[in-house]
């Protein structure tokens, strides 16, 4: 006897073993036992279960995986939004003491409880749209104490019925106290912050950019992460081509993220290393960028593409994974199947969790979303609607 059996449900499995679009099994059933998927198949000979849920023809997908967020931060940057609407650029604002550095001030000043409350509200929005796994980066502390505070808040969010992956993004921006001394700050990151916080995190990230850190500085961060045995990932080629993606690939990064300015050589490097390309159309939209990531090249070289909200106060104040699915299609030209795979299986891969989550397969965690839709493409189609009917994380 299984714990729970979902019947009359169309399954968008995203399983590589099925070659139907979306890995679909129509009018199927899925059984859950001890928090894992224990059985699934077409609807005829279903196994017995204690609890039977008739889904009446709804669709089930893997729970959504948001593999790139900056969910924990103090304050917000609506006033910068006003400035940008009057013509200031994101880079102008960053160079004039606004931008990431202004969120750093607010995050340092905020108590852990305040940070928790605001992050939880954003997380609740995501969960209400089917998210069962979220990655959360630090990076608005830029000192050991505040980076640790952010990661503690992320840890506390694990109590909210969602899987949380924690990423140390100490190399996000240069804090005011290190102005003119970026190498000195990278010393601090490599010698103190990474050794102290590596045991708390799943990965180490950085921002490789003109307004962030150089490839040489990021390489030092990656070496320090490697010494601690932690995975790396990188914000690369968002505003210019710095060769960050190739650098990330050399360190077998889980993912390289943004990639609007990536070259074909960068794409080839990702393909060879098996590094996932995480596309973030929310930031592209919100910053009114015009250069798109080269989706055709990523396809041509067989690079896995994930999609994420990049939820953050400066470039993507977005808590809706469904809106991002739509933007992935309308702005970047993904097919709905690619977009949905990007927020399930490929998102899981970008977190190194694809053996556990991201598709409907026997043995994987029962992280499930049931949607009141007639076809999976609807999840990319509606703007502002929320057809979620049921959400389970680890069978609960
Ligand atoms: N790129 C981004 O889009 C975010 N971080 C990054 O490295 C922006 C973060 C912010 O503006 O607060
Ligand atoms: Fe980001």
Buried b (16+ CB within 10 A) or exposed e, 150-189: bbbbbebbeeeebbbbbbbbbbbbbbeebeeebeebbebb
Residues of the chain with pLDDT under 70: none
What ligand is nearest to the CA atom of residue 67? 2
> Ligand 1 mean position to 100 CA, how many Å?
7
pLDDT of residue 352: 98
Cβ–ligand 1 distance for 99 under 6 Å, the answer: yes
The answer to whether the predicted template modeling score (pTM) of the entire model surpasses 0.85 is yes
What ligand is nearest to the CA atom of residue 283? 1
pLDDT of residue 119: 98
Q: Which residue has the tokens 């969910």?
A: 71
Average pLDDT, the chain: 96
With contact defined as beta carbons under 8 Å apart, do 245 and 209 qualify? Answer: no
Pocket perturbation via mutation, ligand 1, pick of 93, 150, 282, 310 by most ligand atoms within 8 A of CB: 310
Ligand 1 nearest-atom number relative to CA 235: 7
Pocket perturbation via mutation, ligand 1, pick of 90, 94, 168, 315 by most ligand atoms within 8 A of CB: 315
pLDDT of residue 221: 98
> Ligand 1 mean position to 372 CA, how many Å?
34
pLDDT of residue 92: 85
Cβ–ligand 1 distance for 328 under 6 Å, the answer: no
d(CA 320, CA 385): 10
- Does the CA dihedral 72-146-171-190 come out positive or negative? negative
pLDDT of residue 118: 98
Structure tokens at 174: 């240069």
CA distances from 62 to 12, 24, 279, 367, 384 (A): 8, 12, 19, 6, 21
pLDDT of residue 95: 80
Pocket perturbation via mutation, ligand 1, pick of 98, 235, 259, 288 by most ligand atoms within 8 A of CB: 235
What ligand is nearest to the CA atom of residue 140? 1
d(CA 259, CA 115): 29
Structure tokens at 172: 């996000």
The predicted-structure confidence for 66-93, as pLDDT tens digits, reads as follows 999 999 999 999 999 999 899 998 888 8
Structure tokens at 150: 């952010």
CA distances from 224 to 191, 195, 272 (A): 8, 8, 23
């Amino acid at each position: 006897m299984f714990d729970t059996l979902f019947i009359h449900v169309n399954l968008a499995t995203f399983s590589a073993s099925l070659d139907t679009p979306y890995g679909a099994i129509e009018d199927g059933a899925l059984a859950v036992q001890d928090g894992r998927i224990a059985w699934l198949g077409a609807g005829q000979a279903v196994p017995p279960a204690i609890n039977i849920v008739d889904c009446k023809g709804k669709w089930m997908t893997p729970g959504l995986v948001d593999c790139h967020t900056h969910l924990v931060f103090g304050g917000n940057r609506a006033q910068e939004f006003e400035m940008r609407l009057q013509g200031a650029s994101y880079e102008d604002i960053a160079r004039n003491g606004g931008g990431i550095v202004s969120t750093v001030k607010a995050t340092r000043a905020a108590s852990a409880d305040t940070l928790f409350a605001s992050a939880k509200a954003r997380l609740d929005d995501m969960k209400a749209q089917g998210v069962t796994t979220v990655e959360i980066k630090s990076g608005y502390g830029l000192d050991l104490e505040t980076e640790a505070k952010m990661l503690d808040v992320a840890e506390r969010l694990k109590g909210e019925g969602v899987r949380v992956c924690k990423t140390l993004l100490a190399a996000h921006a240069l804090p005011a106290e290190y102005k003119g001394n970026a190498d000195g700050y990278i010393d601090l990151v490599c010698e103190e912050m990474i050794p102290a916080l590596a045991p708390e995190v799943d990965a180490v990230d950085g921002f490789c950019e003109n307004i962030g850190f150089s490839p040489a500085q990021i390489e030092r961060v990656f070496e320090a992460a490697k010494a601690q045995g932690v995975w790396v990932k990188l914000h690369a080629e968002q505003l210019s081509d710095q060769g960050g993606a190739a650098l990330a690939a050399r360190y077998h990064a889980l993912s390289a993220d943004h990639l609007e300015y990536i070259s074909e050589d960068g794409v080839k490097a990702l393909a060879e290393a098996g590094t996932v390309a995480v596309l973030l159309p929310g930031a592209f939209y919100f910053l009114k960028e015009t250069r798109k990531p080269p989706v055709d090249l990523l396809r041509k070289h067989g690079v896995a593409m994930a999609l994420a909200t990049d939820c953050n106060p400066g470039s993507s104040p977005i808590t809706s994974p469904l809106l991002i699915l739509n933007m992935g299609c309308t702005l970047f030209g993904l097919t709905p199947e690619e977009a949905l795979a990007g927020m399930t299986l490929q998102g899981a891969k970008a977190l190194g969790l694809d053996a556990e989550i991201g598709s409907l397969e026997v043995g994987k965690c029962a992280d499930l979303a049931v949607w009141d839709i007639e076809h999976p493409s609807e999840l990319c189609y509606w703007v502002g609607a929320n057809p979620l009917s049921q959400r389970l994380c680890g069978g609960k």
